[in-house]
Amino acid sequence: MKELNELILPDDVKFTDEHEWARVEGDHVRVGISDYAQDQLGDVVFVELPEVGNSFKKGDEFGTVESVKTVSEIYMPVSGEVIAINEELADHPEYVNTEPYGKGWMIEVNPSDLSEMDSLLDKNAYLKLLEG
């Protein structure tokens, strides 16, 4: 397990209390799980994602991540419609471990209210949450 000072926490993403991340990319929001979450889960072996076109409210469960240790739900950081899923994760779930903010992204959302991003945690607030 990584020490807190070893975690990758990019400045351009926001975090949820449940350890998802969200990054605004143009008019859309890309979503995944944080470096902390993937580290706690261990080796990810399967990712279940929704279908393109599905809509969710902020806080709704949209999928699951299965690791060698456990299965964890993943929750929407913002309300909106799923416009893309990372299909590479079907064959390469390990991307969630190796590149959680890059190749390990999970879904892209057309947000119904982009201002919901304002209620998410920035890097410093997320680190404080992790410190307990």
Instruction: Determine the pLDDT at residue 96.
Output: 98
124 domain residue, yes or no: no
Confidence band, pLDDT 50/70/90 cuts, at residue 23 = very high
CATH code of the domain in which 33 resides: 2.40.50.100
Model pTM score: 0.96
* Location of structure tokens 């990054």: 23
Percentage, residues of the chain above pLDDT 70: 100
Confidence band, pLDDT 50/70/90 cuts, at residue 83 = very high
Please, what is the average pLDDT of the chain? 97
> Mean pLDDT across the stretch 21-42?
97
Helices (H) and strands (E) in the chain, counts: 3, 9
Question: Which long-range contacts link 111-114 to residues 24+ away (Cβ below 8 Å)?
Answer: 111/28, 111/29, 111/78, 111/79, 111/80, 112/55, 112/78, 112/79, 112/80, 112/81, 113/78, 113/79, 114/24, 114/29, 114/78
pLDDT in tens, 110-121: 999 999 999 999
Q: How many domains does the chain have?
A: 1
103 domain residue, yes or no: yes
Residue 48's domain comprises 24-114
